[in-house]
Structure 1
Amino acid sequence: MLAALKRYPSAVRLLLLTTFVLTLARAITLPYLVVYLSDSFQMSVSHIGLLIGGALIVASLLSLYGGHLVDTLRNHTVIIVATLVFTLSFAVAMLSPSVALFFLCLVLINLALAVVDIASKAGFCALLPVEERAEVFAIKYTLSNIGYAVGPLLGVALIELDGHLPFLVSALIGLLMCLVYQRLGDRQLRPSEPQLPGAGFMQVAIGLARDRRLVCFTLGGALSAVVFGQFTAYLSQYLVVTAHASEAARLVGVLVTTNAVTVIALQYLIGRRISRQYLMPWLMAGMALFIAGLLGFSLAGSVLGWCLAMLVFTLGEIIVIPAEYMFIDLIAPEHLRGVYYGAQNLSNLGAALGPVLVGFALGYVVPVAVFYLLVLSVLLAALFYYLGTRGAKI
């Protein structure tokens, strides 16, 4: 991976650094949000879940317009503005006197991070030849997982010093990254030639809805995100129902560590080998690994069994996420890469709905049946992926 980073243009390395640093800043507050909302606003756990999930859903929907901005403005402008919004939102959230204002800040934080992510992926496509894109997507995802592994640890340490420090440090990190990108970012970088005059957002959105491949792939992405998007949440729900709360918390911690170590160790090695020529077989292999992992969860009777199932499940995640990036890169017109990547972000709707659907199912079926329902979601996702890849020359 280090050899690849040295080979890339400095603009690519800076885009990778920017997404990593902002992901790290976002991850610092993750372990603190529930506690902060409970202490500061006396919210119940169910209402906290709705607020956090709702912010993700709203930001995912708005990111479609963010992708349109990536297509119409210079990357430098988009990333600077998004990073400033990211920074200010953390600062305002720290001082927020109301739940409504905090919710708005959370939406803006998620949206700003999504826009930077879209701008970075579009930038990679503009700066690198086709054959090198799978590798850079794999590196980006590896760095994001390192950020999500390290960030919460820093957040917990900061909480011990002062309750507001996680927000303050995240804001300062965002500001520092903004200043660095302002100075070093490529001011001439555009993902593509500017769109033709008159190509407004509504016109572009109508065009997206008519792209059968994109619609099918977005539906497939949402259904697969139900399974891997917030797996820690629904595994926690299942374990709380089937085991003692303290035992469930310990086991979830072990599973999160297993997932993070597996991704960091294998993401680059596997992701860089995913090719456009065999994209559909790779996707189906990822779907099969998801199913095997879910069935493993349903049968696991020991910590080792759960960890082995998580290992298999994570291999599916390692394959599917870069493959989704590659497919969007394959079908997106040059002048619409940003909005196509924005449409891909709609899969976060599935991630937000996963714990809701599992929580609902746990009230009506035997607990183990939720894994079979999730298997059904994977099968439907595979069907939509197949329909989306027909005629895409892969």
Structure 2
Amino acid sequence: MTGKEIMITTLRRSTIALLASSLLLTIGRGATLPFMTIYLTRRFQLEVDVIGYALSLALVVGVLFSMGFGILADRFDKKRYMVWSVLVFILGFSAIPLVNNAPLVVIFFALINCAYSVFSTVLKAWFADRLTAEKKARIFSLNYTILNIGWTVGPPIGTLLVMHSINLPFWLAAACAAFPLVFIQLFLQ
């Protein structure tokens, strides 16, 4: 193999690893987000309006964080930020079933949203930096399709899991994120 062929193969492997990571993280979010209201109601007996405010706040924090982080995304090592965001994702989803405090659950949920926003922003920046103009359009479109698949597949899986235990969707989300951690470490150049 020539140097150019090796570089193309490495780029392809990295791109596939990131697309698979995007899918798995989205499946994890899709399996949990629709059930947060049910979880907070059953576990902490919170009123629906309080839950609405808390979840809205957690989501807004994630959006604001991603806007601020988007400015910084090009200044630092993208692989490192992806790894850290996936670690926060795993820790947040692992912590939610273990804590017995509703405000802590909301804080962990906000951290998860921040981590997902960082991952999503850095993923797009990585694609933009490394792909040709022709491939960018195809990969961005493919990533959008993968996100839609994740949001289509995640909620039914979450439904099946929540029928057995209210905590299972969170454990699934943490497990789904473990694979991207490995993919990014092994395949991202």
Q: TM-score normalised to the size of structure 2?
A: 0.89
1:172 CA displacement? 1.5
Q: Which of 111, 116, 119 is the aligned partner of 1:113?
A: 116
More helix as a share of residues: 2
Aligned structure 1 segments of 4 or more residues deviating by more than 6 angstroms: none
Q: Does 1:15 align with 2:38?
A: no
Unpaired runs of 5+ residues, structure 1, are: 1-5, 187-394
Q: Which residue, out of 125, 150, 153, partners 1:150?
A: 153
**Equivalence for 2:4:** none
SS at match of 1:29: helix
Question: Within 5 A, what are the aligned runs for 1:168-247?
Answer: 168-186=171-189
SS at structure 1 position matched to 2:46: coil
Partner in structure 2 of residue 53 of structure 1: 56
Q: Does 1:130 align with 2:130?
A: no
1:12–1:123 CA contact under 8 A, matched in 2: no
Inter-partner Cα distance in structure 2 for 1:129 and 1:80: 24
* 1:1-394 alignment runs, 5 A limit: 9-186=12-189
Q: Point out the structure with max Rg over C-alpha.
A: 1
Distance 2:43 2:152 in 1: 26
**Once superposed, what is the RMSD of the aligned Cα atoms?**
1.6
The one-letter code matched in structure 2 to 1:121 is K
Give distance in 2, aligned partners of 1:115 and 1:145.
Answer: 19
The CA deviation at 1:56 is 0.8
* Residue identity opposite 2:12 in structure 1: P
Cross-structure match for 1:325: none
> Is this contact kept in 2: 1:55–1:106, CA < 8 A?
yes
Higher relative contact order (CA 8 A, sep 6+): 2
Give, in whole Å, the separation in 2 of the partners of 1:71 and 1:104: 27
For 2:163, what is the secondary structure of its paired residue?
helix
User: What is the distance in 1 between the residues matched to 2:166 and 2:185?
Assistant: 31
Percent identity of equivalent pairs: 32
- Whole-angstrom CA distance in 2 between matches of 1:94 and 1:69: 32
Q: Which amino acid aligns with 2:43?
A: S
Amino acid at match of 1:148: W
State the 1:66 CA deviation. 2.4
Deviations 1:36-69 (A, max 9, x none): 1101111111111111111111111111332244
CA displacement at 1:134 relative to structure 2? 2.1
Distance 1:180 1:133 in 2: 21
Paired residues in the alignment total 180
Q: Distance in 2 between matches of 1:46 and 1:162?
A: 24
Instruction: Output the TM-score relative to the length of structure 1.
Output: 0.44
Match of 2:5 in 1: none
The CA deviation at 1:136 is 1.5
Q: Secondary structure at the match of 1:123?
A: helix
Q: 1:329: which partner in 2? A: none
- Rounded to whole Å, the distance in 2 between the matches of 1:121 and 1:134 is 11
- 1: CA distance, partners of 2:30 / 2:181: 18
Q: Deviations over 1:98-145 (max 9, x none)?
A: 121111111111111111111111111111122332222111111101
Counterpart residue type for residue 79 of structure 1: M
The residue type paired with residue 104 of structure 2 is: L
- Provide Cα deviations, 1:14-47, integer angstroms capped at 9, x if missing partner: 2211111111111111232111110111111111
Instruction: Encode CA deviations 1:282-337: one digit per residue, 9 max, x unaligned.
Output: xxxxxxxxxxxxxxxxxxxxxxxxxxxxxxxxxxxxxxxxxxxxxxxxxxxxxxxx
SS of residue matched to 1:97? coil
